[in-house]
Amino acid sequence: MKKVLIPTKLNPIVKEILDATGRYVVVVEETSDLPGLIRRHPDTYALIVRSEKITKDIIDALPALRVIVRAGSGYDTIDSTYARKKNIDVMTTPGANANAVAEEVIALMLADARHIIKADASCRAGQWEKKAFMGREISGKTVGIVGLGAIGQLVAKRLEGFECVLIGYDPVISSDRAEQLGVELVDLPTLFERADYVTLHIPENNETRGLVNASLLGRMKKGATLINCARAGVVNEEDLRKIKAERGIRFLNDVYPKDAEGPKSVADIADIMLPHLGASTKEANTKAAALAAQELIEFDEKGMSPFIVNRDIPPGLDRMYVELAHTLAKFARAFLGSDAQLKLIETSFYGTLKPFAEWLLSPVVAAIDESFDRSMGAAAARKYLADMGIDYNDRETDTRKGFENSITLDLTGGAAHDKLRTISIRGTVTENTIMVSRINEFHNLYFVPRGHTVVFTYKDRPGVLGQIGAALAAAGVNIDDVRNPHDVKGEESIAILKVNQAVRPETVRKVATDIDAHCFFAIEL
């Protein structure tokens, strides 16, 4: 019998499911003294937790521990890296909270539109202020959904009955999938200009931190509403504070830099603020608990789970090829365009990499969307692609081509209503260094994708590389390395420049305009 320790308040279904197997001894004890509880149960095989901090010391105190299940999606409270070193698998239950968050968005919209909170307090005080609480209807309004992952898609579905006009922004979802959801894909500036409601459903990372800033907020309609049930850092608080009053923007908020008691910096600008209640429903708790139990059972029966977030690579696969798959996808994504909707991903794994095709899919998907954890398994990656309406094909390889231990990755997509195009990229690992050998018809690149990089493609003609170099020099940017071949027809050239610092977007755009570039971008690899 394996001991499962649950040191948190979790729906009883988790114990019921585990008990029914007859293979586990389940100990449920909610406590603030986690170290003390751990000392009393040193023979614990599996931990199922919510927000408890599972540190190196706790892991060391449980010599029999082999599995940690986080009943939820985030796992930053678990030292998953150290757990991996101790051969402990960490799993999550992604998606359990999605509907709860989506319904919270609708609840916030309705509560604000009809002044529910203030009207309740007024009525309880004996007042009768019908005129003061004249509301508005959300039916027929335009709702902009920023991020069309699991939660964003559910928001769209929940709004169907309100007959809203749905517009959305997501750089990954296919146009076909968006059409199925009844969502018109637009760029971010257009979304903020047109929407009566803007609801955010994106992760916080280097690309999204501060994304909702003065540039976008200044485009919002007067009296429009911004809803943030995603992450606090995606909204520039100071910009919102400045623009809110002049445009009469409503701000409904459920997220903060830290989930803790104490004053909140947005208290002066939030029209409704909740203590991060997005996932706080009985149903979400029940679903997370049930999934935690089912994942543990499946893990013990099959020895593997698609929801392990600290996977180690299998024997025989060099970790550098995992990084190669991630880097090629990230570079190809930038080449295709950050706003291009993906339609198809195709991979070719050559040489000894072919048996590891399933393992190498996850880093590809994670490069395309940072919200997907690259430690997740192939089943989770395939499900994500299916949910986003993106087809995937792992092609049979021709060993006669001689591409030993290399990866070819093709991304097909395009901006809304534009013709689809494909970016094809091939790379390998040489002397423990990732190398890009081909991009589309540009062969023999031998480019090391590392550091700050600027890319331009243009019609081949003399003097262009000099123009680029001069413009970068004028901006104080030093060039460390250059690749500048023609395509096989000799009609198009590509300039790949490794530089010593990030290049400002306006500098890249100016160079692109000056040389009449067909494609251009800056990226850090």
For residue 417, is it within any domain?
yes
Look at residue 293 and tell me if it is in a domain: yes
Beta strands in 319-365 (DSSP E): 341-349
Task: Report if residue 83 sits inside a domain.
Answer: yes
Q: Does residue 308 form part of some domain?
A: no
Q: Has residue 422 got a pLDDT over 90?
A: yes
Burial category of 398 from C-beta neighbours within 10 Å (exposed 0-12, middle 13-18, buried 19 and up): exposed
pLDDT band at 416, cuts 50/70/90?
low
Residue 200 and residue 71 in one domain: no
Is residue 309 included in any domain, yes or no?
A: no
Residues 6+ away with beta carbon under 8 Å from 275: 254, 259
Give the residue with greater pLDDT, 302 vs 90: 90
Residues 357 and 489 in one domain: yes
Is the same domain home to 103 and 84? Answer: no
Domain membership flag for residue 310: no
Q: For 30-44, 325-339, 366-380, which range has the lowest pLDDT when averaged over its residues?
A: 366-380
Mean pLDDT of the chain: 92
Predicted pLDDT of residue 378: 84
With tokens 């009844």, the residue in question is 182
Q: What is the pLDDT of residues 431-478, one digit of tens each?
A: 889 999 999 999 988 899 999 999 999 999 999 999 999 999 999 999
| Ramachandran area for residue 440 (φ above 0: left; ψ -120 to 50: alpha; else beta) | left
The answer on 443 and 350 residing in a single domain is yes
Q: Does residue 186 sit in the same domain as residue 292?
A: no
The H-assigned helical ranges of 388-440 are: none
Co-location of 82 and 42 in the same domain: yes
* 160 lies in the same domain as 140: yes
Cα dihedral angle (55, 60, 65, 68), rounded to 10 degrees? Answer: 10
pLDDT digit string, tens, across residues 367-391: 998 888 777 788 889 999 999 999 9
Q: What are 166-208's pLDDT values in tens digits?
A: 999 998 898 889 999 999 999 999 999 999 999 999 988 878 8
In which domain, by residue range, is 474 found?
320-524
User: Lowest-pLDDT range, 222-226, 314-318, 344-348, 512-516?
Assistant: 314-318
Higher pLDDT, 340 or 216: 216
Residue 307 lies in a domain: no
Greatest Cα-to-Cα distance within the chain, rounded to the nearest angstrom: 85
CATH number, domain containing residue 83: 3.40.50.720
> How far, CA to CA in Å, does 269 sit from each of 12, 135, 237, 255?
39, 20, 9, 13
Same domain, 104 and 59: no
* Residues 78, 28: Cα–Cα separation, whole Å: 19
Instruction: Please give the tally of structural domains in the chain.
Output: 3
Answer yes or no: do 71 and 125 share one domain: no
Residues 269 and 288 in one domain: no
pLDDT at 220: 97
The DSSP 8-state label assigned to residue 488 in this structure reads T
Residues 482 and 399 in one domain: yes
471 and 486 both lie in a single domain: yes
Look at residue 25 and tell me if it is in a domain.
yes
Q: Output the domain CATH number for residue 452.
A: 3.30.70.260
